[in-house]
Amino acid sequence: MTPSPTVPSPRAPRVRPTATLAATLLPLALLLACTGCRTPQPSAVATAPDWIVLVKSARVPPWSPWITQFAHHTWLDVKRGSEEQWWRAEVRGRDVGVVFAPIAAASARKELWLDRRAVRLLATIDGEPAYRIAQRLESLCAELDARYAADYLKWPGPNSNTFVADLARELPDLAFVFDGNAVGKDWPGWIDAGLTPSKSGLHLDTPLLGAAVALREGVELHLLGFTAAVRLFPPSLALPFLPELPFGLWNERWCRVPPIPADAPLVVRRPADDGATVERTIERTIELPADGAPLEVVVVDEESGSWAQLRLSITPPQPPRRHGTLRCEATLHFEEYDNDDGFEGGVDPGLEVHHLLSLAGTRILLRGVEGTAGAPPSVQLRLIAQSTR
């Protein structure tokens, strides 16, 4: 009897390891890229709430030692009741300790720290929780000042990030997730365990090793003060010495497009396809409420990628003057840095009140003009965006 031939079983198709890896990472990369520009920007912080707490982070300045260039500095900006009452809480170094000092409203909304590093907004808290934080913050800064003036160490800590972590432990309403490169955020002294800064999980840390598991922090591993983490809400990946994704995917020139309030006048100078400027001079008439309410105006020079935010308001006239006083707070955004500017001046019709606001390729002028008879009480300005090329 002749044995029947053995039929080889079908062979499963061979899957290349590179294809498997690409198929696994591609959806994650797309997800991170799609969420990369959704991180809130400081310049978009609302003006309406009387009490606001902003938790911010930025890479250390470029003049720091090269080995620290990846590290992040964390601090708080707090609005206490009005736009004239913004305060900043941070640790600036040994012998300086904790600094709790007033800042301008424009500084609280700047996109760059020290005119060099992009600011990452880790949390925005307003209303009653912000009020409760603000009520305790000044006294906490005073209590912690001596420790940081005497014991400050850039690595492994205590440093500016350890200070903000201390505040999070003391303030139940202060909840956020640190940037993965905020070295010192997990400095325990000897050993520390408790809630994570987001209040959504637990951590355990020693000087050598530590870990955290939380809804917002995800799964974190801490080694000698450095963090590796996978987060899900929102999706992100943190690795030591590298920018945290998707924050690190930002193209600052693309993502730092000015946030335009729905009712804000917008003036844009756009270049033509051949590189020439379509409109060398643009004029717009803007009406300011006579009751002193501020109005935001945005001027964009797309040719250079620079833009300006103007916050304009008018104070009532004082006899014998017939016209009020114009107040302008301006933040000028360039590709590499920001610059604050501003002025106060009259708004008499036909009088050029300011001509020194200059972007990379645009000069901004403001002139008072006569109002229309029978129109609602307002002050009209002629805004002129003029090419300097």
Residue 75, amino acid: W
Strand partners, 310: 297, 330
Whether the predicted pLDDT of 145 surpasses 90: yes
Q: What own/partner pairs with CB < 8 Å and gap ≥ 24 does 58-63 have?
A: 58/112, 58/113, 58/114, 58/117, 58/118, 58/119, 58/120, 59/117, 59/118, 59/181, 60/117, 61/113, 61/114, 61/116, 61/117, 62/116, 62/117
Q: Give the Cα separation of 188 and 210 in Å (integer).
A: 9
Largest separation between any pair of C-alpha atoms in the chain: 126
Rounded to whole angstroms, what are the CA distances from 323 to 44, 56, 329? 32, 41, 19
* Domain locations along the chain: 30-254, 259-387
pLDDT of residue 369: 56
The rounded percent of the chain whose pLDDT value lies above 70 is 60
pLDDT of residue 301: 66
Q: Give the Cα separation of 264 and 331 in Å (integer).
A: 15
Q: What is the mean pLDDT of the chain?
A: 75
Higher-confidence position of 48 and 210: 210
Nearest to 159 by CA among 209, 100, 94: 94
For 370, half-sphere exposure in the C-beta direction (CA atoms, 13 angstrom radius) is 3
pLDDT of residue 113: 83
Name the class of domain 259-387.
mainly beta
The SS3 call for residue 142 is helix
Lowest mean pLDDT among 100-104, 275-279, 289-293, 307-311: 275-279
What are 228-261's pLDDT values in tens digits? 999 987 788 999 988 887 755 543 333 344 455 5
Q: Give the Cα separation of 15 and 31 in Å (integer).
A: 24
Q: What confidence category does residue 8 fall into, taking pLDDT thresholds of 50, 70 and 90?
A: very low
Phi, psi angle pair for 197, to nearest 5°: -55, -25
Cβ contact 314:290 at 8 Å: yes
Question: What are the start-end ranges of the H helices in the chain?
Answer: 17-35, 105-108, 127-151, 160-170, 252-255
Q: Give the Cα separation of 295 and 299 in Å (integer).
A: 13
Whether the predicted pLDDT of 265 surpasses 90: no
What are 283-305's pLDDT values in tens digits? 677 777 767 777 777 777 665 66
Element (H, E) at 123: strand 120-126
